[in-house]
Chain A
Amino acid sequence: MPPVIAIQGLSKTYASGFQALKSIDLDIRRGEIFALLGPNGAGKTTLISIVCGIVRASSGSVTVDGHDIVSDFRAARGLIGLVPQELTTDAFETVWDTVSFSRGLFGKPRNPEHIEKVLRDLSLWSKKDSKIMTLSGGMKRRVLIAKALSHEPRILFLDEPTAGVDVELRKDMWEVVRALRASGVTIILTTHYIEEAEQMADRIGVINKGEIVLVEEKATLMRELGRKQLALQLNGRLHAVPEALQPYDLTLAEEGATLVYTYDTQGDRTGITGFLQDLSRAGIEFHDLQTTQRSLEDIFVDLVRQRR
């Protein structure tokens, strides 16, 4: 199946000379949730802005469902909904009016039933006649999502949609996102909350300094790069890792009171059995243990550090 968004050789250099994107190649699959991760200034928003038509590319091409974003911009943009990073809303409009305005802007005929459904799904129905300036930050964020969904897009860009949003609202939003995905909408999100990407995304892309560092299935990424650690709380303290245990990837923590064994869950052998046997032979006893797995955040931080 052809990608719903195909990005080829996309570069952007701003008038200041800053090169925000360096020949990006990226395909977004139809119906997936794609999480784009990257530190501040990595190029995430520039990439989204080019696809949506807000920023001009310096070179390269982008097609949305086969439509070029420049020569066939109407068809391309009509498929896309965008929730921007900043809380950029009208102030004096009512919720209903601003969402209806967005639908009209995208050339769709009036459909009060759809607008009502969107507002109800986002728990905005009771605020439909409220002026936007009277809403809280979280509610304004919902309004931005409602505006993006007003014209029934097939692709939804969420540029850090839950930044500054409380936990309750964040959960509500992700319910909406899941429901959209279930209805076939492709979702591309950027987020600083890596646990969100971990929970929500099908695939993850990492961008750093204008370059795509990695694109991988989330499950594969977690499997391939995921390492586990076994921490043993020792009965006594060690000053150094004993000679007999040198073959293992061991570190001492908490002033020698904890011995940490790092192992690869995807290796042929984790080595845990042998390690515990060798530990016993070395006469080292422990009274408690725990295992921890590297999070996506750890992987992300490692990737970004490697590229510095």
Chain B
Amino acid sequence: MISNLRAVRAIYVFEMARAGRTLLQSIVSPVLSTSLYFVVFGAAIGSRITEIDGVPYGAFIVPGLIMLLLLTQSVANASFGIYFPRFTGTIYELLSAPVSYGEIVLGYVGAAATKSVILGLIVLATAALFVPLQIEHPVWMLVFLVLTAVTFSLLGFIIGIWADGFEKLQLVPLLVITPLTFLGGTFYSVSVLPPLWQKLALLNPVVYLISGFRWSFFGTSDVNIGVSLAMTLVVLGLCVVGIAWIFRTGYRLKA
């Protein structure tokens, strides 16, 4: 299925170069906004909340903040990456090239996920400047980081195909992803919620991502680590099925 590696490389390099051209927007802006979260939630509010599950509040929110950035940036990068050639019409070149659907996805999603992971690591390094950090399971931390970046880049790719305007491109990230992330335990542990809200929170897939990621840092989690991993893989699988359907039907790509 993947035999035109030069094409994958071409797409990947093209997309990464785009991030390089827009360095301020791509890297500086998310790092700055995440730093602001640390200042507001970590320093200001965190001074009144000492610890959650034995972890200082400033450090507790780090995995959630990285996950918030990872989710929004993965979706934004991947959706814009495929939407822009549709918008300008240069998609014709992609469709007329000897490139399989898998190779197209690998190029775009690979680049979007790479950018997100790099950003996640930069924010992690930035966070270390504000709060003392420990990572109990660094390999699992990377596994969750990469899996989440890939999963939400796949989702972003779907959004980029679905959107027929820049407004729609922003719709899902703003109205779905960001609220789910905020409600998914970025700034708190789900265990502090009333029992009914705890059950409702478990319907939010982001809870599992943040919980798993937080576990890799501190060894404590809201839900079982195996369940977190399974849920991540389920969302990943759903996105793959969605993309397979898009390419099989030519939805918004081929008349």
Q: Chain A residues in contact with chain B, CB under 8 A?
A: 14-15, 52-56, 73-78, 80, 82, 84, 86, 88-93, 97, 101-109, 147
Contact = CB atoms under 8 A, between A and B. Distances in A.
B90 A89 contact: yes
B96 A77 contact: yes
B98 A97 contact: no
A170 to B, nearest CB: 22
B11 A105 contact: yes
A17 B94 CA distance: 26
B98 A77 contact: yes
A54 B17 contact: no
Contacts of B14: 93, 97, 101
Contacts of A77: 96-98
Q: Interface residues of B: mostly helix, strand, loop or mixed? A: helix
A91 B92 contact: no
A276 B99 CA distance: 67
Interface stretch (B1-9, B121-129, B148-156, B160-168): B1-9
Contacts of A109: 6
A226 B105 CA distance: 54
Contact of B92 (A15, A75, A88, A104): A88
Given A75-B98, A92-B21, A105 B254 contact: no
B250 A91 contact: no
Contacts of B21: 92
B96 A55 contact: no
A53 B90 contact: no
Contacts of A53: 95-96
B234 to A, nearest CB: 32
B254 A108 contact: no
17 contacts: A52-B95, A52-B96, A55-B255, A56-B254, A74-B4, A82-B93, A86-B89, A88-B92, A101-B10, A101-B13, A103-B10, A104-B6, A104-B7, A105-B93, A105-B97, A107-B4, A109-B6
Interface in B9-44: 9-11, 13-14, 17-18, 21
B105 to A, nearest CB: 14
Nearest to B88: A88
B96 A90 contact: no
Q: Which 10 A-B pairs have the closest CB atoms?
A: A104-B10, A88-B89, A74-B98, A52-B96, A77-B98, A105-B97, A107-B4, A78-B98, A54-B95, A107-B6
Nearest to A104: B10
Nearest to B254: A56
Nearest to A14: B255
A105 B10 contact: yes
B17 A73 contact: no
Nearest to A12: B255
Given A15-B255, A54-B96, A92-B18, 20 more contacts: A52-B95, A74-B4, A74-B98, A74-B100, A77-B97, A82-B93, A88-B88, A88-B92, A89-B90, A91-B88, A103-B10, A104-B6, A104-B13, A105-B6, A105-B7, A105-B10, A105-B97, A106-B98, A107-B99, A109-B6
Contacts of A76: 98
B180 to A, nearest CB: 32
A89 B88 contact: yes
A108 B88 contact: no
A97 B9 CA distance: 13
Contacts of A15: 255
B15 to A, nearest CB: 11
Contacts of B90: 88-90
B20 to A, nearest CB: 11
A54 B88 contact: no
A119 to B, nearest CB: 18
Nearest to B249: A56
Contacts of A101: 10, 13-14
Contacts of A14: 255
B92 A73 contact: no
Given A55-B254, A56-B250, A106 B88 contact: no
A91 B89 CA distance: 11
Instruction: Select the residue from A52, A55, A103, A106 with max chain B CB neighbours within 10 A.
Output: A106
A75 B97 CA distance: 10
Nearest to A102: B93
B92 A84 contact: yes
Contacts of B97: 77, 105-106
A56 B93 contact: no
Contacts of A78: 98
